Structure 1
């Protein structure tokens, strides 16, 4: 088989090749493309059997029509989320579509905690001050996390991992999820979203991006948050109405915002724009706040997670090639 990998960074190639050489070298050829998958770049997958894509590759009807015309029948998502693919169109065309539903959930949860800790104790600002010989503590005041209330929106594997960590800090945990899991009961209690927002000192988002969750945090829900609360998002940028968050920061109702994702991140993230003039005025405004910390979607970025992503992705392709049942087949889960 022949696989075309899009949005391939050096680390993607490194970890995929490790698994490829160890298990599938005789049965698979892999082509790596740094470009994202679009209608213009889809021709790079000509003569391939499958494509492998990441979070910011958008598989619209036009893209999938072109892939189908080239004989491609499998789409491998090397991520958990699948909001970037039109599953109805994929089903109509008969594509095999598989994701990596869980890869080191602790990695993302630990990164969310890093954002919380950094924002709370201003260690990013302290680091820069000390490098310049400024040891003044004024402006670096934080809060003790022990005894604070943490609201976890989305209590899947990542949300549970965060709850477990924050419980260790001595925090009180509140959870909200349409699909409740008994596993959360050992860490905290479930409440309605409005109650979670009004009581939480820290709100951390760990839910997928779907129609019902798009702009889950908006002008209305922000108005229900506890004054001075911290907002953390390591899931998908579209969960936030960024303009509404900026307004809340301007009127000082939010104490801080930690983001590893951004609503319009696709043209920016995973590339070096340090010599460019960034044209996204909303993003640039967000970056002016001293109490906002933005990272480039790196919560998953650990050796353990990348190894697991590579293993599951190529295992999904192996199942497709051999006509085996695949537990990560999104098309099967639709029925």
Structure 2
């Protein structure tokens, strides 16, 4: 097999990516069910690697990829990609947050509205033949202060979706100045913690952010009522969230991610924590599908192909 402009696609991708890459002169090899051992055996033959979240791009894999010029992550999160080592080796790192940001923004909005208006819990009661209007009275989003922690592609998309709800949107991002569009007020962390009523997390997972949101950190948010996490589960300690729910600090929580999403590997403690979360009627959990729609599945592939064309 020639190493010239050959790309290994080592995970499931929308079929549109193959003709898009061929139009650019690449030879894509589509092996969506290949395992890590299989990747390591053949990666030296390829100039490019496209992966999703199942494949850790670490020193072992990069060293095996002696002809690699780029690694593309079909999605947003780069927590399984050693970008520093790729940079050291002169290998381009690409991701595609533009591909699923709208899906994520819509999903976060859906979680929030369902929590405020008790849509999910009310539906469960009706299925159990219970009709309780007053017990399912909702809270309006209008007039509330929504704090966005991390205003990148995902945080910005969520903010854009909120614009029609007449709420105040404030944001904190340690790497940015003014936010585009003018509808998010850029605040310092102290102000975010002082004023936020609804907190939405949109930061990547790294050494600095892992378990950043523990009990002490969460309690610094003086007016916090609702917490949303559609970023990475490991940035939020589950035991801390349970404490704030148990003592009534939080009106509700919406999670699209968990600390450990491989439920079959759970310890007894992890099982107990998940059971506890599921016992709260004011908690919604979805299986990391916030950015995973039929539209984003195709759009991510299109974004990856376009970035390969523009950046290489």
TM-score (normalizing by structure 2): 0.83
Distance 1:88 1:23 in 2: 26
Distance 1:64 1:284 in 2: 40
- Asked if 1:34 corresponds to 2:33, the answer is yes
Secondary structure of the structure 1 residue equivalent to 2:79: coil
Secondary structure of the structure 2 residue equivalent to 1:124: helix
Secondary structure of the structure 2 residue equivalent to 1:196: helix
From the superposition, tell whether residues 146 and 82 of structure 1 become closer, same or farther in structure 2 (CA, over 3 Å): same
Q: Any unmatched runs of 5+ in structure 1?
A: 269-275, 320-324, 330-335
1:73-129 Cα distance to aligned partner (Å, 9 max, x none) = 532111222221112222334433222242253321111110101111121122223
Distance 2:186 2:216 in 1: 21
Match of 2:7 in 1: 3
Conserved? CA contact 1:194–1:221, under 8 Å = no
Aligned length: 304
In structure 2, which of residues 43, 54, 59 is the aligned counterpart of residue 61 of structure 1?
Answer: 59
Q: After TM superposition, give the deviation of residue 209 of structure 1 in Å.
A: 2.5
- Asked if 1:306 corresponds to 2:310, the answer is no
Conserved? CA contact 1:39–1:63, under 8 Å = no
Match of 1:254 in 2: 250
Q: Any unmatched runs of 5+ in structure 2?
A: none
Distance 1:65 1:101 in 2: 26
Aligned pairs for 1:1-335 within 5 A = 1-8=5-12, 12=13, 15=14, 17-21=15-19, 24=22, 27-34=26-33, 38=36, 42-43=40-41, 45=43, 47-68=45-66, 71-137=67-133, 139-183=135-179, 186-227=182-223, 229-265=225-261, 267-268=262-263, 278-279=266-267, 280-281=270-271, 282-317=273-308, 319=309, 326=311
From the superposition, tell whether residues 241 and 194 of structure 1 become closer, same or farther in structure 2 (CA, over 3 Å): farther
From the superposition, tell whether residues 164 and 38 of structure 1 become closer, same or farther in structure 2 (CA, over 3 Å): same
Secondary structure of the structure 2 residue equivalent to 1:297: coil
1:162-192 Cα distance to aligned partner (Å, 9 max, x none) = 2233232111222111133434573242222
Secondary structure of the structure 1 residue equivalent to 2:248: coil
Q: After TM superposition, give the deviation of residue 263 of structure 1 in Å.
A: 2.5
From the superposition, tell whether residues 130 and 291 of structure 1 become closer, same or farther in structure 2 (CA, over 3 Å): same
TM-score (normalizing by structure 1): 0.78
Taking only aligned residues, the RMSD between alpha carbons, in angstroms, comes to 2.9
1:282-318 Cα distance to aligned partner (Å, 9 max, x none) = 444433332221112212123432222101223444x
Conserved? CA contact 1:52–1:75, under 8 Å = yes
Distance 2:199 2:157 in 1: 15
Secondary structure of the structure 2 residue equivalent to 1:254: coil
Distance 2:101 2:289 in 1: 13
